[in-house]
Amino acid sequence: MILQDKYAMDIEENIWIAKRLLVDSVYTSANLEGIAVTFAQTQDILNNVNVSHLTPKDINKVCCLRDAWEYMIEHIHDELNMGYLMNIHELIARFDVPYSYLGRIRTDDVIISGTNWRPEVHSVEYYHKGLMELQDNPNVTDRAIRTGLWLMRCQVFKDGNKRI
């Protein structure tokens, strides 16, 4: 079934909205990851204002999310492939995972807190094929949602899959 793309916008509109909602997007992503930061603190961090009561690691994670959003805006015309996702992972996880894991597909088991479920380990080719199948969807909104959920479910990277 093909869904109507309710939120179809051209590239310029997408960039304008992304910049306009940058603080909210970073704040929402940070909270999804369990970073206890308020909207006001997020705004201060992005404006290089010192924020007390947050760990340096949490502040760095917020900055990494900002950097990933800026990368996506600057590379909006790039194809969404595993190389692109690996670049995003390097940005968002650089304070979470050892250097040897940055931008690399995971090759061992991961634990997902709060569940007993363990995602399988797959090859780069498997993930590439799955991502390409998702990109065949003509509905941009549906494609984005399905791609995000696929990344979270497959746990392609050692950490940071929700933030990607």
* Segment 71-94, tens digit of pLDDT: 999 999 999 999 999 999 999 999
List Cβ<8 Å contacts ≥24 apart for 84-93. Answer: 85/131, 85/151, 85/156, 85/164, 88/164, 89/157, 89/160, 89/164, 91/64, 91/67, 92/61, 92/64, 92/65, 92/67, 92/68, 92/160, 92/163, 92/164, 93/64, 93/157, 93/158, 93/159, 93/160, 93/163
List C-alpha distances in Å: 17 to 38, 69, 112, 156.
21, 12, 32, 28
Q: What is the pLDDT of residues 53-73, one digit of tens each?
A: 899 989 999 999 999 999 999
2 falls in which pLDDT band (50, 70, 90)? low
Q: What is the pLDDT of residues 136-147, one digit of tens each?
A: 888 888 898 999
Q: Mean pLDDT across the stretch 110-118?
A: 82
In this predicted structure, what is the pLDDT of residue 110? 86
Residue 4 has pLDDT above 80, yes or no: no
Interior angle at CA 155, CA 157 and CA 77, nearest 5? 65
